[in-house]
Amino acid sequence: MKAITMFGAKPAAVVSLSLLLGASPRPVLAQDETCGDRPSLQVTVVDESGAIPIPSAMLVVHWSDVEERPLRETAGSEGRFLLCAPPQATEAVLWAELGDDSSEQATVALTPGEVREVELRVLLSEVRRGRLIGRVYDAMTEKPVATAAVSVTGHAQESASNRQGRFILSDVRPGVRHLEVRRIGYAPLRHRIDLTPGVTTEVDIGLVPTPVEMEPIVATVTRLRRLEIKGFYERKYWGELTGNGYFFSPEYIERWRPSNARFLVVSNVPGITWSGNNRRMSAGFSSLTCKMSIIVDGVGWGGWPNIPWSQLAAVEVYKGPATLPAEFGGSGGRCGAVVIWTK
């Protein structure tokens, strides 16, 4: 795997990110300007006028037809990166985020040996748009449904679900809209949905095969913007997929209403004591106790914080260093970590 390289730039220079398809099977930041025969994608993040570069913007990249963790990279002061994408990826869907504002979504075909340049303009207008992401699956078999046409009334663009049944619709005007999903062999779906300005709404859509007589299934969750920026939802998706970690979403906390974060963790995660020790990891060390790292809003904490459930946004629990994400690791993570996010 290659390491980061930053190209020299003047202060407040245009934030540029080059996405290269490299030899690694996972997206990695490359050290040089080439990744063999694979294609490259160069991205510039600017304001609405296209004249002012925006440093420190967050770039989000989804790889079509590849079950890979979406990339989230923050552009630094110098602003340029090189990235090797998964070998099987044929298309990239990307946008830039800055606080509650974001750019329009760009879809770029990946062709070996070609460099594609994309400019992302962050929309800083007063009326912020919403984003809709989700999954389309067969309500009978629960298998993903590919090539389903997904649209929202009043929005010109239409999205098609990929092989994993996933889709993205960006820059959707907020308010009450109707979600429409069509696929040959399935009954068409039309569902009322309320999109919040500057927030991502996530939906799971269960299509019913024709001529089966049953109602389609639609589950809607509005993501908290702060948790999305901090990467909670991506870690939750991949952690639950691989069985690494315990994740308590805002919806779970609202439904369960524990007295505080400690009660939530101890009551739901086996092997965690009231003092914050990890019994499973203790057996592997000479010490009789193995103190877990407590992290609140990205900052290390000496012990359990006294945070009531009404102030909890989400909680993540990792029971060992092997499952601990790099951003929460370090010498204090040998016993695992409890990551707490507040509202």
3-state secondary structure of 280: helix
| Buried b or exposed e, range 301-316, using 16+ CB within 10 angstroms | eeebbebeeeebbbbb
Do the two domains 15-123 and 130-223 of this chain adopt the same fold?
yes
Give me the CATH code for the 15-123 domain, please.
Answer: 2.60.40
| Amino acid (1-letter code) at residue 77 | S
Cα 128 from chain centre:
20
3-state secondary structure of 152: strand
Tokens of 11: 């202060």
| Amino acid (1-letter code) at residue 150 | V
CATH topology of domain 130-223: Immunoglobulin-like (2.60.40)
| Buried b or exposed e, range 205-233, using 16+ CB within 10 angstroms | bbbbeeeeeeebebebebbbbbbbbbebb
3-state secondary structure of 266: helix
Cα 252 from chain centre:
19
**pTM greater than the 0.75 cutoff:** no
Task: Tell the CATH superfamily of the 227-342 domain.
Answer: TonB-dependent receptor, plug domain (2.170.130.10)
Output 219-227 pairs: Cβ under 8 A, ≥24 positions apart: 220/193, 221/249, 221/251, 222/196, 223/199, 224/199, 224/250, 224/313, 224/314, 224/343, 225/100, 225/198, 225/199, 225/200, 226/313, 226/341, 226/343, 227/313, 227/314, 227/341
Domain ranges of the chain: 15-123, 130-223, 227-342
Cα 74 from chain centre:
13
Tens-of-pLDDT digits for all 343 residues of the chain? 333 333 333 322 222 333 322 333 334 444 445 667 777 778 888 877 676 777 777 888 887 767 667 778 776 655 566 677 777 778 888 888 877 677 877 888 887 777 788 888 887 655 567 888 999 999 999 999 999 999 998 787 889 999 889 998 888 888 888 999 999 999 999 999 888 877 888 999 999 998 777 777 888 888 888 898 888 998 998 888 888 899 999 989 988 888 889 999 998 998 888 888 887 665 554 445 788 899 999 899 888 998 888 899 999 999 888 888 888 877 677 889 999 999 8
